[in-house]
Structure 1
Amino acid sequence: MPKLILCLLFFCSSIFATQLSDKEILAQANNDFEQAKFAALQNPEVAEDLYIKSINAYRFLIEEKAYKNSQLYNNLANAYFMHGEAGLAILHYHRALRLDPTNADISHNLRYAQAQTNDVVPQNSFQEILNFVCFWHAWNPQLRLGLFFFFNLSFFGLCAYALHSNKTWVKKTRLYTGLLSLIFAISILISVSSFDQNIDGVIVSKESNPRQGNGYIYNNAFTNPLHAGTEFALLEDRGEWLHIELVNGSTCWIKNSDIALLK
């Protein structure tokens, strides 16, 4: 029933939205979202209606008007998150970051939403070692970019200075700044070129019981069910059932209706 109501509201809002300009629709959606945050403490029912209105308006701009804008996806994700739909929020944060991989605000929103999910999937040993050794790769992308420019400029400045000086400290400092510049350059390139390459979708159903095979005749893959917001890589698509891999390397089969793909 809630899904039916949401669809009807989306249909009605789409008809109403055709009478407004895109800028007016966006402004109204942003206003509804802000009002919902203030109303949440005093009148949760009013807040819920306002969140749904903002969600429908953002969806209209994305789905009907075909806007591909990272901030628009981020706004939609924020509205879903505040409405209690963590799975759809994480899904759209990922979509926003695919359009703008170095956006620090969206990255922060995604990490916060991930921290609120029920399924905290542990990383495998290799990932833990890699994150420990290359700890700087988890830093804010803008911070890494700033450090790259700092060390890069320092390196070339020292190269120019070394033309007129044979001091040992100049050569050593030039070597260190060059290495640090290279390290941060590689880190940034990895973030930009391979961001989310292992995340193909997100569980959006409130609760899902994956199986060891593609059907209900197979046993449950895990002792406990998975919940909305759990991310995965797609291994195989058999229509009604999908073979997926979680971030810790665990694999299972899940119903197509329980998930949403990033594409």
Structure 2
Amino acid sequence: MKYLTALIFCFFSTIVIPQNDTLFDQANALYNDGKYAEAIDKYEAILSSGQHSAELYFNLGNANYKLNNVAPSIYYYEKALLLKPNDKDIINNLTGYAKNMTVDAIDTVPQVGFSRIINNVINLFSVDTWAQIAITGVILFVALFLLYHFSHATSRKRMAFVISLASLFFSCFSVAMAFQRQNLYKKDNPAIVFAQESRVRSEANKSSEEVFRLHEGTKVQVLETYEDWKKIQLSDKSTGWIPSKDIKILKTF
């Protein structure tokens, strides 16, 4: 049965991917002709087929920006950035252009002290890169330990022993960093406000006190979900409950 499933998947892939390539080219042509709404329809048709990429989200962000669609442009730029975190074009269009259209000016509470240093170290590499460093450290440890075991020269044995222990320590450190990076990724649940104006409440019901208002394009962190409400946190650490329909989660692909 699994072979039949794989065969069907391969069959449809050979049909869908070329069609999407054609749609992508057509959408790019429409964009270049200034027909941004029609280009968006083509790009979204590709998304509806289940295919996505940083380039697709980036182009969707560009097309929505041209139409002054604040929330969609930021949303798609942010999604592109999730797939390509260090892409300069995405960062430039997001921070240099799209975010300038937002209404809310929210301060960011900076991290200080030891926690800032640790987080900077954790975020140096992705989970996969930390794991690769750990594997490299283990391989180096085994090779140097074998050199230590079979070497006859005292100075060489001492050097091999010290470096092998350092490699083992660095490998264990990298594993710890990989787990911490993964935990940070799981806790990170960003969303973009799509409502033109949303009233954020102190509790998850409409009759509770309004604590502040947010406008389209603002980025928030989702902390909890309760029925049709999301508990969110802003970059200044303010929290409140917002209707689920007013925001879109970024990590849904």
Structures share fold, TM-score greater than 0.5? yes
Could you list the runs of 5+ residues in structure 2 that have no partner in the other structure?
A: 1-11, 65-71
Which residue number corresponds to residue 44 of structure 1? Answer: 34
Which residue number corresponds to residue 177 of structure 1? Answer: 167
Matched, 1:259 2:251: no
**Equivalent of 1:133, from 118, 121, 127?**
118
Q: CA deviation at 1:88?
A: 3.9
* Mapped contact 1:235–1:242 kept (Cα < 8 A): yes
Q: CA deviation at 1:216?
A: 7.4
Q: CA deviation at 1:55?
A: 1.0
Matches within 5 A, 1:2-17: none
Matches within 5 A, 1:159-174: 159-163=145-149, 164=151, 166-167=154-155, 168-174=158-164
**Equivalent of 2:230, from 206, 228, 242?**
242
* Mapped contact 1:51–1:83 kept (Cα < 8 A): yes
Q: Equivalent residue of 1:252, what SS?
A: strand
Residue identity in the other structure for 1:197: K
* Mapped contact 1:33–1:79 kept (Cα < 8 A): no
Aligned partners of 2:241, 2:43: CA distance in 1, in Å?
34
Residue identity in the other structure for 2:209: Y
Matched, 1:28 2:16: no
Which residue number corresponds to residue 8 of structure 2? Answer: none
* Mapped contact 1:235–1:245 kept (Cα < 8 A): no
Aligned partners of 1:154, 1:188: CA distance in 2, in Å?
19
Aligned partners of 2:114, 2:107: CA distance in 1, in Å?
16
* Mapped contact 1:137–1:187 kept (Cα < 8 A): yes
* Mapped contact 2:130–2:178 kept (Cα < 8 A): yes
Give the % identical residues: 11
Residue identity in the other structure for 1:171: F
Q: Equivalent residue of 1:232, what SS?
A: strand
Q: CA deviation at 1:209?
A: 3.7
Residue identity in the other structure for 1:80: L
* Mapped contact 1:87–1:228 kept (Cα < 8 A): yes
Deviation string 1:135-185 (CA, Å, 9 cap, x unpaired) is 342234354344333322221111111213543433332222222111212
Deviates more, 1:247-256 or 1:176-185: 247-256
Aligned partners of 1:92, 1:23: CA distance in 2, in Å?
26
Deviates more, 1:31-40 or 1:148-157: 31-40
Residue identity in the other structure for 1:158: L
How many equivalent pairs are there? 219
Aligned partners of 2:164, 2:86: CA distance in 1, in Å?
34
* Mapped contact 2:39–2:63 kept (Cα < 8 A): no
Which residue number corresponds to residue 221 of structure 2? Answer: 232
Residue identity in the other structure for 1:57: I
Residue identity in the other structure for 1:31: T
When the two structures are superposed, what TM-score results if normalisation uses the length of structure 2? 0.65
Q: Equivalent residue of 1:30, what SS?
A: helix
Residue identity in the other structure for 1:259: I
Q: Return closer, same or farther for 1:248/1:172 CA change in 2, 3 Å cut-off.
A: farther
* Mapped contact 2:123–2:181 kept (Cα < 8 A): no
> How large is the RMSD of aligned CA atoms in angstroms?
3.9
- Give the greater-gyration-radius structure (CA): 2
Which residue number corresponds to residue 130 of structure 2? Answer: 144
